[in-house]
């Protein structure tokens, strides 16, 4: 019954021999699941309903509202649970104050007009040791009195409606009548539950008496049915077959390869830090967090299996925690939406050590930091560093509005160093950039991070204003260029004395790893710079957005995740 | 042994069969309960016409309804003179024997079931460990490490605890864990499971410890607390019998010793307390 499903509760039900864990989530969705955790078969009805997920008592596996997919396996916090780890779910409908479900339901629910039109009132459910059909037959002869007439001895009771496992009865005493509907839940072959509803809520003062009256009469009915059932051979209990898990899940899983995530951190704080932006504070649960530098990013391994890069916003000397900011991307492929919606305070995540491919020079006479939107994060770390060191800098923060500014408290602390540019159109942004990059003074440096088009415009304006490439530092969120990986070529590894073929469709990074050459990597799309190697010979086909034009022309470095060869052979310093 | 009353007939159910047992002149005897003697009677040795094989080991009387090997698996630590060998409790659980053994082999549940004692969130990770079957056909899981806030009765604060698990018998399991008082030696904890029925056990907890500080009752209380936390979990596993078909449950790397155990039971041809693979 609906009233058996208050928030945070898990109800243990049984239908046709199958045990069910039934729970209501915060969004009112009623979940009806097979009552066993896929891992070791522990009943999920003894689990914890936290409003959004159900947590198994045994190993803390978490299963999502609605889908019943496993979202987290605490024993392996660095790994994402396989997408296919999913409990068996059954459809559920709430109607007439009851939750309806079935193993393979078809057709419509019985149409009980009196309950649809009335104001139903639930009676106490009663369990009967008899087959459902037998219980339904006896219910046709159920006798009761209308509320307010409980003192009478005789009522005229008529059967208004009758379906396979439901009966609608009306009791009349004089001009007073009451309609009751009884549903029989087939729990097992020889066990049923009678769930009764009155079509109208009785007056307050008679409510207890009405409940007691029906409880008494239904108990008598139960005694009669059970006596009859006991005289017959007991039916065989139903056997609910356990659905097999996929072969892939049943085979012993291998250690995950690829990204390294040495550190385990706990989300100790998650807060909204501007329109569409969530900030996270991460604390180590093991060894102390490694050193970071302004501009550094970490790989964050998400519970859904994705790996994403986020810049640290920490100022100098704040190494007890890492802080990151995550913008909710409207077309999120699962990274930002997972962090916004799924990851919560208390969760354990795996992260890489910080890598700095966007280093800050501190020998500049003037530093201009230019942030677009969430591109503020590495620049916040830089601005705090420059501010502490009393170096001359400006932080120009371009955002849609005041509400869209992230990490307001840090901005306030930085004070006059921050210039906010709010609500500008692309043209206005271009004009503002033109003004602030108007003249290049030797030993000035400029750092820019933000959306791709803004970065492109900024770099162009800077070049036109006479800024040399080495003074323009940038970090893209992602590489939006189409990567052409069709060519086949050869790489010679100068230190490892290996020559390898790189076939079309495979990256240099992948080929190196396949041959046991350990290579660091992070974004694997040519944006972050982690997989850079030095090139000794050959012509590189640069496809990344990490290197600047001068570096690309020089051709002595390349990003092995996306860049390839124009010549037939490259010699790498590996 | 210490709970037996000398010369008085006692009973226990083994694999669904009622067994009577007693001691005669200090030696244990066991027989199927069909001699005419009743529980509580004085033992009449002559009335036992069809005795079951018995042996005494590690403070317990062992018997078999079949033809057992002459010797039981070895626990050499039991004979070390400075050890405390303690029987902590025998506890009935409505579960199958191999479910109890698997639970004993499992570290992943510590933070959730033995919260604040054997584990605590967020220290939930089960690091890789090694599992092998030795030449005596015993399972050994080595290099197991887990963070424990209070690993033993003598612990002061949290520590990374080293474990070695050993399965020398389908329904007996041992663990060796870092001893808080002596870094070079290990405490031994055993679980000896008697199947009353396929889905009902009586499990005895055996300890062989380096500990001259704690009282027997403190040690027993600690073990009984741990076991009492496991009991409701074990009684809520479905199916009760351990499925040996790998497609009934979903293993993760942390379960590698359990996976080995299930395969090993299959290879041994164990059919009691399990659902054999098709």
Residue range A50-107, pLDDT digits in tens: 988 899 999 999 898 988 988 788 898 777 677 678 899 999 999 998 999 998 888 8
pLDDT at A522: 81
Contact at CB, B249 and A39, closer than 8 angstroms:
yes
Residue A76: closest C-alpha in chain B = B125
- Which of A19, A36, A38, A41 should one mutate to test binding to chain B, selecting the residue with the greatest count of B CBs within 10 A? A41
Distance from CA of B146 to the nearest CA of A (A): 11
Nearest CB neighbour to B124, from listed A58, A60, A247 = A60
Stretch B97-111: mean pLDDT, rounded?
Answer: 98
Chain A hits for B239, Cβ within 8 Å: 41, 242
Q: Cβ separation of B121 and A346 shorter than 8 Å?
A: yes
Contact A355, A520 (CB under 8 A): yes
Give the model confidence (pLDDT) of B138-197 as tens digits: 999 999 999 988 756 666 667 788 999 999 999 999 999 988 788 889 999 999 999 999
Give the mean model confidence (pLDDT) for residues B261-272: 96
Residue A253 confidence (pLDDT) above 60: no
pLDDT at position B152: 62
B131 touches chain A (CB under 8 A): no
> Does A421 have pLDDT greater than 90?
yes
Which range scores top for mean pLDDT: A107-111, A146-150, A304-308, B55-59? Answer: B55-59
pLDDT attached to residue A259: 56
A244 CB-near residues (< 8 Å, 6+ apart): A250, B245, B247, B248
Query: Cβ separation of A39 and B259 shorter than 8 Å?
Result: no
In the predicted structure, residue A258 carries a pLDDT above the cut 60: no
Residue B142 is encoded by which pair of tokens? 């080595």
The complex's ipTM works out to: 0.94
Residue A207 to chain B, least CA–CA distance (Å): 37
pLDDT of A214 above 50: yes
Residues of A in contact with B230 (CB under 8 A): none
pLDDT band for A356, please (50, 70, 90 cuts): confident
Residue A248 banded pLDDT, cuts 50, 70, 90: confident
Across the interface, do A46 and B232 touch by the CB < 8 Å criterion? yes
- Encode pLDDT of B37-46 as tens digits: 999 999 999 8
The yes-or-no verdict on residue A460 having pLDDT over 90 is yes
B254 inside 8 A of chain A by CB: yes
Give the pLDDT of residue A83.
Answer: 66
| Residue among B111, B126, B239 whose CB faces A41 most closely | B239
- Residue A262's pLDDT band, with cuts at 50, 70 and 90, is confident
List all residues 6 or more positions away from A117 whose beta carbon is below 8 Å from its beta carbon: none
pLDDT digits (tens, 9 = 90+) for A126-163: 999 999 999 999 999 999 999 988 888 888 999 998 88
Axis crossing angle, helix B216-234 with helix B97-104, rounded to the nearest 10: 120
Q: Is the dihedral of CA A284, A290, A292, A298 positive or negative?
A: negative
Tell me which chain B residues have a C-beta less than 8 angstroms from the C-beta of A58: 109, 112-113, 233
**Probe site for chain B from A17, A21, A46, A75 (most B CB atoms < 10 A):** A75
Q: Can you tell me the distance from the alpha carbon of A38 to that of A85, in angstroms, rounded to the nearest whole number? A: 8
pLDDT level of residue A252 (50, 70, 90 thresholds): low
Chain A: residue nearest B252 by CA?
A: A253
Closest Cα partner for A521 from A358, A355, A378?
A355
Q: How far is A284 from chain B (nearest CA, A)?
A: 10
> What is the pLDDT, as a whole number, of residue A541?
95
Beta-strand relationship, B27-32 and B274-275: unpaired
Tokens of A564: 């390839």
Q: Inform me whether the pLDDT recorded for B229 exceeds 60.
A: yes
Contact indicator for A43, B238 with CB cutoff of 8 Å: yes
pLDDT, chain A, mean: 91
Please tell me the distance from the alpha carbon of residue B97 to that of residue B270, in angstroms, as a whole number. Answer: 11
Closest-CA residue in chain B for A256?
B253
Pairing type for strands A472-476 and A444-450 reads parallel
Task: Identify the closest residue of chain B to A350 by CA–CA distance.
Answer: B125
- Using CA coordinates, name the residue in chain A closest to B109: A59
Tokens of A15: 């239908």
Please, which pLDDT band fits residue A257 given cuts at 50, 70 and 90?
very low
Q: Do B237 and A76 touch (CB under 8 A)?
A: no
Average pLDDT rounded to a whole number, residues A460-479: 93
| Residue B87: per-residue pLDDT | 96
> Do the Cβ atoms of A348 and B124 come within 8 Å?
yes
Interchain pair A39, B124: CB under 8 A: no
Judge residue A305's burial from the number of C-beta atoms within 10 Å of its C-beta, 0-12 exposed, 13-18 middle, 19 or more buried.
middle
pLDDT, greater one: B60 or B149? B60
Query: Who wins on pLDDT, B224 or A293?
Result: B224
| pTM attached to this predicted model | 0.76
Tell if the CB–CB gap between A73 and B252 is shorter than 8 Å: yes
In the block, tokens 């062992």 appear at: B62
Q: What is the pLDDT of residue B210?
A: 92
Q: Three-class SS of residue A377? A: helix
Band of pLDDT at residue B227, cut at 50, 70 and 90: very high
What phi and psi values does residue A210 have, to the nearest 5 degrees? -65, -45
**Contacts with A34 from chain B: Cβ below 8 Å:** none
- Rounded to a whole number of angstroms, the distance from the CA of A100 to the nearest CA of chain B is 24
Instruction: Flag whether pLDDT at B15 surpasses 60.
Output: yes
Read off the pLDDT band of A342 (50, 70, 90). Answer: confident
β pairing state of A366-372 and A393-399: parallel
Mean pLDDT of A310-332: 89
Q: Which residues, 6+ apart, have CB-to-CB distance to A100 below 8 Å?
A: A92, A93, A94, A109
Q: Which residue has the higher pLDDT, A126 or A522?
A: A126
The Cα–Cα gap between A472 and B160 comes to 48
* Residue A458: strand, helix, or coil: helix
pLDDT band for position A256 (cuts 50, 70, 90): very low
- pLDDT(A357) > 50: yes
* Residue among B113, B251, B253 minimizing CB distance to A58: B113
């Amino acid at each position: 019954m609906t009233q058996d499903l208050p928030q945070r509760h898990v109800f243990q039900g049984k239908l046709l021999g199958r045990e069910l864990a039934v729970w209501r989530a915060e969004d009112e969705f009623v979940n009806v699941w097979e009552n066993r955790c896929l891992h070791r078969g522990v009943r999920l009805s003894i689990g914890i309903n936290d409003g959004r997920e159900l947590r198994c008592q045994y190993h803390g596996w978490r299963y999502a509202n609605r889908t019943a997919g496993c979202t987290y396996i605490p024993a392996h916090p660095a790994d994402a649970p396989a997408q296919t780890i999913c409990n068996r779910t059954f459809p559920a409908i709430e109607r007439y104050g009851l939750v309806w479900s079935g193993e393979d339901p078809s057709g419509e629910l019985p149409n009980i007009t009196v309950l649809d039109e009335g104001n139903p009132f639930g009676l106490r459910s009663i369990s009967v040791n008899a087959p459902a059909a037998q219980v339904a037959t006896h219910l046709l002869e159920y006798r009761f009195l209308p509320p307010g007439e409980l003192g009478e001895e005789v009522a005229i009771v008529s059967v208004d409606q009758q379906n396979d496992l439901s009966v609608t009865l009306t009791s009349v005493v004089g001009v007073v009548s009451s309609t009751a509907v009884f549903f029989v839940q087939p729990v097992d072959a020889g066990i049923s539950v009678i769930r009764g509803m009155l079509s109208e809520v009785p007056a307050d003062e008679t409510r207890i008496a009405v409940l007691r009256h029906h409880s008494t009469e239904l108990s008598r009915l139960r005694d009669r049915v059970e006596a009859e059932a006991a005289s017959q051979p007991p039916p065989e209990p139903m056997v609910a077959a356990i659905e097999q898990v996929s072969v892939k899940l049943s085979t012993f899983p291998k250690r995950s390869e690829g990204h390294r995530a040495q550190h385990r951190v706990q989300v100790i704080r998650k807060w909204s830090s501007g329109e569409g932006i969530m900030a996270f504070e991460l604390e180590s649960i093991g060894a102390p967090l490694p050193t970071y530098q302004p501009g550094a990013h970490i790989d964050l391994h998400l519970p859904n299996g994705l790996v994403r890069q986020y810049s640290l916003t920490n100022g100098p000397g704040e190494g007890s925690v890492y802080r990151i900011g995550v913008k909710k991307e409207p077309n999120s492929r699962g990274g930002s939406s997972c962090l916004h919606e799924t990851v919560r305070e208390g969760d354990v995540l795996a992260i890489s050590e910080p890598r700095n491919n966007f280093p800050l020079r501190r020998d500049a006479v003037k530093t201009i930091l230019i942030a677009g939107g969430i591109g503020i994060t590495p620049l916040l770390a830089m601005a705090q560093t420059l501010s502490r060191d009393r170096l001359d800098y400006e932080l120009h923060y371009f955002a849609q509005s005041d509400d869209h500014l992230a990490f307001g408290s840090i901005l306030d602390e930085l004070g006059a160093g921050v210039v906010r540019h709010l609500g500008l159109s692309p043209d206005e942004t271009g004009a503002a950039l033109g003004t602030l990059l108007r003249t290049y003074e030797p030993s000035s440096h400029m750092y820019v991070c933000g959306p791709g088009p803004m970065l492109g415009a900024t770099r162009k304006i800077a070049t036109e204003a006479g800024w040399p490439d080495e003074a323009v530092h940038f970090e893209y969120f992602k590489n939006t260029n189409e990567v052409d990986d069709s060519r086949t070529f050869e790489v010679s590894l100068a230190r490892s004395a290996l020559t390898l073929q790189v076939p079309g469709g495979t990256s240099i990074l992948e080929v190196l790893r396949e041959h046991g050459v350990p290579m660091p990597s992070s974004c694997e799309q040519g944006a972050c710079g982690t997989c850079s190697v030095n090139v000794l010979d050959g012509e590189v086909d640069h496809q990344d957005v990490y290197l600047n034009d001068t570096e690309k022309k020089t051709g002595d470095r390349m990003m092995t995740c996306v860049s390839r060869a124009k010549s037939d052979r490259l010699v790498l310093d590996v | 042994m210490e709970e037996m009353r000398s010369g008085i007939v006692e009973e226990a159910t083994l694999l669904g069969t009622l067994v009577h047992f007693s001691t005669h002149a200090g030696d244990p005897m066991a027989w199927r309960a069909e001699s005419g003697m009743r529980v509580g009677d004085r033992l009449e040795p002559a009335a036992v016409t069809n005795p079951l094989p018995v042996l005494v080991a590690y403070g317990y009387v062992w018997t078999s309804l079949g033809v057992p090997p002459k010797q039981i698996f070895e626990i050499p630590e039991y004979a070390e003179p400075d050890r405390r060998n303690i029987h902590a409790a025998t506890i009935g659980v409505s579960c199958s024997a191999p479910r109890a053994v698997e639970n004993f082999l499992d570290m992943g549940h510590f933070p959730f079931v033995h919260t604040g004692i054997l584990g605590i969130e967020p220290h939930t990770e089960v690091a890789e460990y090694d599992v092998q079957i030795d030449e005596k056909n015993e399972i050994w899981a080595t290099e197991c490490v887990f963070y424990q806030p209070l690993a033993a009765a003598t612990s002061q604060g949290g520590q990374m605890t080293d474990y070695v698990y050993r399965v020398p018998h389908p329904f007996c399991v041992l663990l060796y864990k870092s001893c808080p008082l002596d870094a070079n030696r290990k405490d031994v904890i055993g679980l000896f499971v008697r199947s009353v029925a396929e889905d009902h056990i009586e499990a005895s907890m055996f300890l062989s410890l380096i500990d001259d500080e704690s009282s027997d009752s403190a040690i027993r209380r600690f073990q009984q607390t741990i076991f009492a936390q496991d009991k409701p979990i074990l009684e809520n596993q479905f199916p009760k019998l351990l499925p040996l078909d790998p497609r009934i449950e979903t293993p993760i790397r942390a379960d590698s010793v359990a996976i080995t155990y299930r395969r090993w039971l299959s290879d041994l041809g164990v059919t009691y307390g399990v659902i054999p693979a098709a």
